[in-house]
Structure 1
C-alpha cells in the first residue's frame, strides 16, 4: 500500500521548535471622542515572524499536503496523478510513485487517510531557510489497502502510529517534501 506503512527513504534530522501565529487588534476612543482602531500584530504573526518561523509553517503545510495528495491518488492507485508533485519532489516523489505503481499492478487501492501530527524540528539556514526537517507520529490506522476488483480488505494487519521524519526543501513554486523515512508501527 502507498502510505505510512510502505514509503521510506533514509536520513537524519536535528532538533528545533515550531512557532504558531495569530493576530490581534485594539479599538479605542481618541481625546476628541472619535473611534480609533489600531492593529497590533501578536507575537509570531506573519508580519513579525522570523524567516525560520515562516519556513517551518510553510514546510509543515507542504508535508500535510503531501500526505493528503497521496491519500487522494491512492484511492485509485494513480501513480501518474499530477497532484503527487504538488507537495513532493525528488526521492519522495519517486518513492510515492513507485509504491503506487506497485499497488496498481497488484490491483490494490487505499481507502481512508492517514492522520499527521507534524512538528518542524529545524530550519536551515536560520536567516533564510531552504531546508526544514519535520518529525511526525503519523497514524495509518484508518488508511488500509483493498482489492480493487472485489473491494475486500487486502491486508488484515492494521495500521498504527509510526515515527516519520521528512526533509522539506524550498523550491520554485513553494516548499516540497524531498525525502522522508517511515519507521515501524509502534515506533512513536
Structure 2
C-alpha cells in the first residue's frame, strides 16, 4: 500500500466531511453552530443548608407570615381569625388578639400593610436551633387605623417606623412561631 495514496485519501475524506458540514450549516440559512445536544441538568444544587441557616429562614418566614396575617385580619378587626395562630402563639398571639378585639370594640379597622425588614440577631442553641431572636425596623407609614363606620382616619397621627424585637421558637409540631414581640414607639428606628 502506498503511504502517499493513503494520505491523499484521508485528505479527500476530511475535505468532503468538512464540505458536508459547511453545506449543512448553510442550508438552514444560519451561520451559527448547531445547538448542542449536551444535556444540562435543570435541577438546583442539592447542597444541604446548615441547621442554623434553616432555622433563620424558617423563623424569618414565620415572622413575615405573622405580620401578613395580622394585616389581613386588621382590615375587619377580626380578633378571632384562625390565621393568627398560623404564625403566632403564646404571648404574641394573645397581644395580637387583644389589640384586634380593642379595635373591633372601638369600631376601627386598618388599611394598608406594614413593611418589615427583619434581621436575625441570634440563634440558640447554635448546634440545634430552637429559638431565633429577630430585630426589625418596621415601617407602618402606610398601615393606619380608620373608623369602620365612615372610613375617616382614627386620629391625626401619621404612621412611622417602629423598632420591633421578636422571639420565634420551634414548636413541637416542627413549625416556627412568633412567641413574643415588643413594638417600640414611632420613630424608634
Provide TM-score, normalisation by structure 1. 0.76
Inter-CA distance 75–34: structure 2 relative to 1 (3 Å threshold)? closer
Are the equivalent residues in 2 in contact too, given 1:121–1:135 (CA < 8 A)?
yes
**Larger Rg computed on CA atoms:** 2
- The verdict on how the C-alpha distance between 1:145 and 1:127 changes in structure 2, with shifts beyond 3 A counting, is same
Separation in structure 1 between the aligned mates of residue 174 and residue 120 of structure 2, nearest angstrom: 20
Corresponding residue for 1:63?
A: 63
After the TM superposition, which segments of 4 or more aligned residues of structure 1 sit over 6 Å from their partners? none
- Superposed displacement of residue 184, structure 1: 1.1
Partner of 1:35: 38
Look up the match of 2:143: 143
Question: Does the alignment pair 1:52 with 2:55?
Answer: no
Structure 2: where are the runs of 5+ without partners?
Answer: 1-35
- Any residues of structure 2 matched to 1:75-90 within 5 Å, and which? 75-90=75-90
Label 1:40 to 1:153 Cα distance change in 2 as closer, same or farther (>3 A): closer
SS of corresponding position for 2:185:
strand
Is the contact between residue 136 and residue 165 of structure 1 (CA under 8 Å) also seen in structure 2?
yes
Measured after TM superposition, the shift of residue 81 of structure 1 is 0.4
- Normalized against structure 2, the TM-score is what? 0.76
1:184 equivalent in alignment to 2:185: yes
How many Å apart are 1:48 and its aligned residue?
Answer: 2.8
SS at match of 2:110: strand
Q: CA deviation at 1:35?
A: 2.4
Supply the RMSD in Å over aligned alpha carbons. 1.7
Unaligned runs of 5+ in 1: 1-32
Question: Structure 1 CA distance, aligned partners of 2:94 and 2:44?
Answer: 45
Higher share in helix: 2
> What is the distance in 2 between the residues matched to 1:69 and 1:95?
14
Q: How many residues align?
A: 152
> Alignment partner of 1:55: what SS?
helix
The residue that corresponds to 2:4 in the other structure is none
Residue 128 (structure 1) shift: 1.2
